[in-house]
Amino acid sequence: MKFYVLVIRYRFWLSLASLAIAIIFNVTHIAGFWPSFPLYFLGVIGLVSHFLIGPLRLVQEPMEEGNLEEVEKILSTVWFPNLLIKPVRSGYFTIKGNLAMSNKDFDSAEKYLKESSSLGNSIPQAEGSNKLQLGMMAMQKNDFKGAESYIRAALRFGVVDKDSEAVAYLGLCQIYMQKRQYKASKDFFRKAKECKPKTKPVLDQIKELEKYVSRMQ
């Protein structure tokens, strides 16, 4: 596994080295074209995969460890994002959006997440999570119409876990509270509780909202 990680990390330079050695062999007549062909082949494949697939496979471990500095360092090696194949490009912009959110740069986060959403995602839950984040950002801007559209889309695609689903229903609860449609607001609050979320921020949000929901007639 470590060897595989090293190959991806240094794929660009290894590919250039492979091509350089093949050319030197040809120019100095150490070997002809066909004996050098494997080096040419490895070099070309390495360069193509570097620009079309990129290093996103390296991101998982530092993301899980919360090492956002390392994630940013890895993403900085993607020099031409628009050359990445569509699913990889979508993932790239999603990660960029998440990093921007962690830095509280909500304008950049929205831009990156919208770019990712426009590309689509082969994993429905990932697309759902993307829509949910856009919905939460729209709520922060008091764009409740846009927020509702994004959150409903997130629920249609599906989200990664029950806590995220609860967040979606709590968002709709607040939106319908703003609309003074209290029956619908209560229904969404009930659905959020039925998800049985476990993380403290979501549980705290439920506890806070319950004060208002209990007063609604």
**pLDDT score of 74:** 92
Q: Which amino acid is at 52?
A: L
Q: Which amino acid is at 47?
A: L
Give the whole-angstrom CA distance, residue 122 versus residue 118: 12
Are 69 and 37 in contact by the 8 Å Cβ rule? The answer is: no
pLDDT band at 154 (very low <50, low <70, confident <90, very high): very high
From 139, 137, 134, 131, select the one nearest 157 (Cα to Cα). 131
Q: Which of the residue ranges 54-68, 144-158, 174-188 would you say has the lowest mean pLDDT?
A: 54-68
Query: pLDDT, tens digit, for every residue of 28-37?
Result: 878 777 788 8
> For 184-195, what is the mean pLDDT?
95
- Neighbour tally for 161: CB within 10 Å: 14
pLDDT band at 126 (very low <50, low <70, confident <90, very high): confident
pLDDT band at 124 (very low <50, low <70, confident <90, very high): low
pLDDT band at 123 (very low <50, low <70, confident <90, very high): low
Q: Which two tokens stand for residue 23?
A: 């050319």
> For 82-105, what is the mean pLDDT?
89
pLDDT band at 217 (very low <50, low <70, confident <90, very high): low
Q: Is 39 exposed, middle or buried (0-12, 13-18, 19+ CB in 10 A)?
A: buried
**pLDDT score of 35:** 83
Give the whole-angstrom CA distance, residue 107 versus residue 113: 10
pTM for the model: 0.75
> For 72-85, what is the mean pLDDT?
92
Give the whole-angstrom CA distance, residue 214 versus residue 210: 6
Q: Which two tokens stand for residue 95?
A: 């990660």
Helix, strand, or coil (residue 30): coil
Q: Is the pLDDT of residue 1 over 60?
A: no
pLDDT band at 7 (very low <50, low <70, confident <90, very high): confident
Got the DSSP string for 53-70?
A: TTTGGGSHHHHHHT-HHH
Q: At what angle do helices 2-9 and 11-27 cross, to 10 degrees?
A: 70
Q: Residue 197 phi/psi, 5° resolution?
A: -65, 155
Are 173 and 205 in contact by the 8 Å Cβ rule? The answer is: no
**pLDDT score of 80:** 93
Return the higher-pLDDT residue of 31 and 78.
Answer: 78
